[in-house]
Amino acid sequence: MLKDLSIVDYLAKTACGDPVPGGGSSAALNAALAAALVEMVANLTIGRKGFEAVDVEMRAVVEKAAGLRSKLTADVDRDSNSYAQVLKAFGRAVISKGNPNAASDGAAGVLAARMAARTAVYNVRINLGSIKDKAFISELRREAERLEADAEAKEKEILSLLKI
């Protein structure tokens, strides 16, 4: 399974010229990394002096991010297209309330999630040519456009909260 490869082996397998892992798997890996970075910032906030007021919220972020990280890690093998969840679910909380010493890590998570969502949109678009059902193509195109617009708006909203 791809998710069980070392980083070095995953990169080599991606580079070798086989179609898998491709963009979708790589997007899932980036989204899992985004969830891990969000989880890290929340963990760096929990129990720290000056952050007592957000301790419960950060613990909830850790729990949700860990679950999402696990799902997205599995998606590396499923080539899934559900990566904007990281932006929607957690980015705002860790950027606006998390430990400011980890702000750049939170930003890295937001940007990784945005890149993963954008890659998912490109994967949908590139695969539309192999589908014959015009109604289904229109539905997928609309959903991809919605995902792209939503992810872009969330990225801008969340990164505007950075205090750096």
pTM of the entire predicted model: 0.77
Q: What is the structure's pLDDT at 90?
A: 66
User: Are the CB atoms for 159 and 91 separated by under 8 Å?
Assistant: no
Largest CA distance in the chain: 59
- Model pLDDT, residue 80: 45
Mean pLDDT per 10-residue interval, the chain, length 164 residues: 93 88 86 93 96 96 94 77 61 84 87 87 88 92 90 89 79
What is the predicted pLDDT for the residue at 82? 55
Closest-CA residue to 156 (of 111, 96, 119, 93): 111
Q: Are 119 and 79 in contact (CB under 8 A)?
A: no
- pLDDT recorded at residue 105: 86
> Tokens 């994967």 correspond to what residue?
123
Alpha helices by DSSP H, listed for the chain, are 7-15, 23-45, 55-78, 85-86, 92-97, 103-127, 134-159
- What is the rounded distance in angstroms from the CA atom of residue 43 to the CA atom of residue 55? 10
Tell me which residue has tokens 């679950």: 67
Domains belonging to the chain, first-starting first, are 2-159 (1.20.120.680)
Number of residues written out for the chain: 164
